Amino acid sequence: MKTYTLHRTQFLPYPLDEVFPFFESPENLGSITPRWLKFRFITPLPIDMREGAVIEYTISWLGIPIRWKTLISSYNPPHSFSDTQLEGPYARWEHTHSFREVDGGTEMTDTVHYALPFGVLGRFAHACAIRRQVEAIFEHRATVLSDLIANRRRKADQAST
């Protein structure tokens, strides 16, 4: 089984104590997922984020709904957490979210190790489409994150006045 790795680092101009809570809240997952995936929770909200939590949702790929079950396999606030696919479209999906306070904000790093089923057919699908789709998901996240965190900050500021 061929394993692929996606590694992305992004600077967010917000302190760690604002960035980590955004990411540790599963409810925000839908807002950072591209609309074309049609992300929907199955697990009732709110979700208690902790090691051992299981989150179920559906996505749509080429119009086909796909059920995905994720285990929060490690949880080390405010520095990192990892989710591992228990059931879903990949033969392997392990995603580690890491956060580090840096001058002027937070450095966020995503590292995903993933593999596709179906041997040579999976490798062919990766080369033709899947690699670009996985990259597009994380590009979308990078594009929308700063605005989403800024909006969350504005709402918190308005609520406190």
Q: Which two tokens stand for residue 69?
A: 């079950």
Alpha carbon distance 127, 54 (integer Å) = 31
Q: How much is the pLDDT for 139?
A: 95
Domain ranges of the chain: 3-160
3-160 CATH, one of 3.40.640.10, 3.30.530.20, 1.10.510.10, 3.30.1360.170: 3.30.530.20
Q: How much is the pLDDT for 63?
A: 86
Q: How much is the pLDDT for 40?
A: 96
Alpha carbon distance 149, 99 (integer Å) = 15
Per-residue pLDDT of the chain (161 residues; tens, 9 = 90+): 899 999 999 999 999 999 999 999 999 999 999 999 999 999 999 999 999 999 999 999 878 999 999 999 999 999 999 999 999 999 999 999 999 999 999 999 999 999 999 999 999 999 999 999 999 999 999 999 878 877 776 776 677 76
Among 3, 31, 32, 2, CA closest to 138: 32
65-106 pLDDT, tens per residue? 999 999 999 999 999 999 999 999 999 999 999 999 999 999
Cβ neighbors of 84 (< 8 A, separation 6 or more) are: 70, 71, 73, 93, 94, 95
Q: What is the pTM of this model?
A: 0.90
Q: How much is the pLDDT for 159?
A: 76
Handedness of CA 94, 100, 106, 107 (dihedral sign): negative
Strand 54-61 relative to strand 64-76: parallel, antiparallel, unpaired? antiparallel
Residue 103 CB-density burial (10 A; 0-12 exposed, 13-18 middle, 19+ buried): exposed
